[in-house]
Structure 1
Amino acid sequence: MRGITALGVLFLVAMVGALENGLARTPPMGWLAWQRYRCNTDCVNDPDNCISEQLFMKTADLMVSEGYLALGYDVVSMDDCWPARERDADGKLQPDAERFPSGLKKLGDYIHSKGLKFGIYEDYGTHTCAGYPGILEHMELDAQTFAEWGVDYVKLDGCYSDPHTMDQGYPEFGSYLNKTGRPIVYSCSWPDYLRASGIKINWTAIIEHCNLWRNYNDISDSWGSVTSIVNYYGDNQDEIAPNAGPGHWNDPDMLLIGNFGLSYEQSRAQMALWAVLASPLLMSVDLQSITPPYKEILQNKDIIAVNQDPLGIQGRRVSKKGNIEIWTRPVTPTSGDEYSYAVVVFNQGNGGGPSNVTLSLKSLGMTHSAGYLVSDLYEHEDIGKFTPDQHFYVKVNPSGVKMLRFNLS
């Protein structure tokens, strides 16, 4: 296990040269269309689920009325399949006229009127992944267009492009975004495409030019997809965890909670692990049809507080024994060089009953002699005070988690 002192040093090193546009000081929170709605453009036969201004306006309304905005979910972002197939006569991107008849400036104004931020998707390539116009040869024009539309958040994919040019292209587009004078959070897929192509990743450049970035495969609506991402982050944490911090975040991809592929226990596990990973919390779900148990997971204030902790230190997997993993994240409050902790005990097993797990506080890096006040973040229970020499016992369901907070006493 890497000691907290070493982790703190790595965190400070990562901050050097970080992108300082003043944005994303904690991981972005919001809603992103892709996982739930994909590229459904059939507004004739499926008007409630197609990529259209109606979908984004309805979602903006629900973000406010259902309490998501009040908890920090403040971005409503489009993904692929919003543009027309061709640029206009002046070379500008334009939305599909039938699905976005009011135009994107008016859509952005509507989202802003609700107190929310407006997000958009594009691609560093000749085309987006679904075949719509990409930004290559139009980077400066597209950045200016996004600013004119009132865009606050840009996700830039990397289909139909040469990964060997990304070390130049992604920073170039970021510079055009900055030159618009509009504060725009910049989400990059840059390192994921380099990884997939076997190209060495320059993390210093990634941190300098992007507010958040994808590291690994797209998430899909399945438990296998979630665990593959979690395993990648755990197996490669020495390389990627130190790169996270205020203004620049690793992005394991969207929250699936409330869709079709995860059980209730698995949904709780994703939320807890994404919080400990200091991940952006970008829901991709139908907010109108989500059922109360899953909405409660997404709106868990105590877990959101862990995710949004101002220290911005990404958590780590500190123990893996069989199916049982323990992940910890240093959080506030602090005292000198001592931290409080969020702890996730994760059971990757998929059969039988709950597993009994014994936690040794000292082995998890908790050395505060006055002890820790322990609370269960899903059960909303105060469990008691424990000192470093004491052990702590929990039961963890298959494909589930126990999420605890250890605050300095």
Structure 2
Amino acid sequence: MKLLSRDPRLICELAFRPLALVFWSILGAKALNNGLARTPTMGWLHWERFMCNLDCQEEPDACISEQLFMQMAELMVSDGWKDAGYEYLCIDDCWMAPERDSKGRLQADPQRFPNGIQHLANYVHSKGLKLGIYADVGNKTCAGFPGSFGYYDTDAQTFADWGVDLLKFDGCHCDSVTSLADGYKYMSLALNRTGRSIVYSCEWPLYLKPFHKPNYTDIQYYCNHWRNFDDVYDSWESIKNILAWTTTNQKEIVDVAGPGGWNDPDMLVIGNFGLSWDQQVTQMALWAIMAAPLLMSNDLRQISPQAKALLQNKDVIAVNQDPLGKQGYCFRKGFSM
């Protein structure tokens, strides 16, 4: 997601100072050693297809709600997605209520998630799947809901208490590069301290560009996968831009990827509207070769048999899930993309 910050840099820096001594006192401890994401994460994520649709009255089947995720969980099991390896059902932005509760904890929107996230996690787990959730390192999420800045420990424990299995941690509304880095590191440590196994998906390098070069040694040390480039959209131009950036920067990013930490070129948009069949095949093949997380963003209720067969292709998935974890390297371009 794009940086939409309206908060002065000074607010972010000053608010972080009370945490500074605590943070730096534990940096000597081993940080990310969670044993997770030994192969690229596979699952489903709502954002590209459903965005921030809050209108459950007019669009009850497309709004961000408990109903949507329960339906997707059912289909992931009944239609073979779980058996193919897609195990994480992930909520993106716009699940929260506008304010924290009286104890400072995040809470789900009570109309759209009437039973709360813990109930949804229990349902997802009952299907043999895992639940992912979204939060933001800054003062607000990209869509303007409460951010985790100043609440890292509280939010990490809340997610653990709910039974969350993956956290996508965005980078909006935090203009200070120092605070951005410290926040991503701190949340990694906070998640580990809960004692629950939670995959940590960072957008850290994305929010450093174009003026700051990511320290991928640091990023790999704290994150299970990390977004390097802009959000994917349901268009061939978007896919081409991601591939062009990846090949241009492959010397910096390929060698840091491997079991436990992966470069994330964003979601698979196969089964939507914007790609031709050949373009869908291309995205699937290259995401597999790049050892990328395979997080679909589509409507499993309406996907075509052809797109379903492509996304569940055992041979292509086997390339992506190779336990050696070597990301493919582009040696030459045989044609202009």
- Does the alignment reach a TM-score above 0.5? yes
Residue equivalent to 2:106: 93
Deviations 1:201-235 (A, max 9, x none): 11111010000000011111110000100011111
Residue equivalent to 1:336: none
Whether 2:141 is the aligned partner of 1:128: answer: yes
Residue equivalent to 2:36: 23
Counterpart CA distance in 2 for 1:166 and 1:204 is 16
Counterpart CA distance in 2 for 1:102 and 1:313 is 42
Q: What is the correspondence of 1:261-340 to structure 2 with a 5 Å cutoff? A: 261-323=274-336
Residue equivalent to 2:182: 168
Report the alpha carbon displacement of residue 169 of structure 1 after superposing the two structures with TM: 1.2
Whether contact under 8 Å (2:259, 2:324) holds in the other structure is: yes
Whether 2:250 is the aligned partner of 1:237: answer: yes
Whether contact under 8 Å (2:32, 2:188) holds in the other structure is: no
1:27 and 1:18, CA in 2 relative to 1: closer, same or farther beyond 3 A? farther
Report the alpha carbon displacement of residue 253 of structure 1 after superposing the two structures with TM: 0.1
Whether 2:64 is the aligned partner of 1:51: answer: yes
1:18 and 1:301, CA in 2 relative to 1: closer, same or farther beyond 3 A? farther
Count how many residue pairs are aligned between Structure 1 and Structure 2: 307
Q: What is the correspondence of 1:383-394 to structure 2 with a 5 Å cutoff? A: none
Aligned mate of 1:184, from 182, 195, 198:
198
Counterpart CA distance in 1 for 2:228 and 2:125 is 30
Whether contact under 8 Å (1:18, 1:207) holds in the other structure is: no
The percent of aligned pairs where both chains have the same amino acid is: 57
Report the alpha carbon displacement of residue 322 of structure 1 after superposing the two structures with TM: 3.5
Q: What is the correspondence of 1:132-143 to structure 2 with a 5 Å cutoff? A: 132-143=145-156
Which of the pair has the greater relative contact order for Cα pairs under 8 Å at 6+ separation? 2
What letter is aligned with 2:247? G
Counterpart CA distance in 1 for 2:36 and 2:99 is 32
Report the alpha carbon displacement of residue 18 of structure 1 after superposing the two structures with TM: 9.1
What letter is aligned with 2:233? S
Whether contact under 8 Å (1:18, 1:248) holds in the other structure is: no
What letter is aligned with 2:136? D
Report the alpha carbon displacement of residue 195 of structure 1 after superposing the two structures with TM: 1.9
Deviates more, 1:163-172 or 1:114-123: 163-172
Q: What is the correspondence of 1:224-263 to structure 2 with a 5 Å cutoff? A: 224-263=237-276
Could you tell me which runs of 5 or more consecutive residues in structure 1 were left unpaired when the two chains were aligned.
1-16, 324-347, 349-409
Whether 2:236 is the aligned partner of 1:220: answer: no
Whether contact under 8 Å (1:19, 1:247) holds in the other structure is: no
Whether contact under 8 Å (2:138, 2:180) holds in the other structure is: no
Aligned mate of 2:118, from 79, 86, 105:
105
What letter is aligned with 2:271? G
Residue equivalent to 1:195: 209
Could you tell me which runs of 5 or more consecutive residues in structure 2 were left unpaired when the two chains were aligned.
1-29
Residue equivalent to 1:83: 96
What letter is aligned with 2:52? C
Structure 1 or 2: more strand by fraction:
1
Whether contact under 8 Å (1:19, 1:248) holds in the other structure is: no
Deviations 1:167-197 (A, max 9, x none): 211010110000000000000000111123x
Residue equivalent to 1:5: none
What letter is aligned with 2:153? E
Report the alpha carbon displacement of residue 200 of structure 1 after superposing the two structures with TM: 2.3
TM-score (normalised: structure 2):
0.90
Looking at CA atoms only, which structure, 1 or 2, has the larger radius of gyration?
A: 1
Counterpart CA distance in 2 for 1:122 and 1:104 is 13
Counterpart CA distance in 2 for 1:294 and 1:103 is 32
Whether contact under 8 Å (1:124, 1:134) holds in the other structure is: yes
Q: What secondary structure does 1:48 align onto?
A: coil
Report the alpha carbon displacement of residue 60 of structure 1 after superposing the two structures with TM: 0.3
Q: What secondary structure does 2:169 align onto?
A: strand
What letter is aligned with 2:48? Q
Counterpart CA distance in 2 for 1:256 and 1:86 is 32
Residue equivalent to 1:364: none
Q: What is the correspondence of 1:393-408 to structure 2 with a 5 Å cutoff? A: none
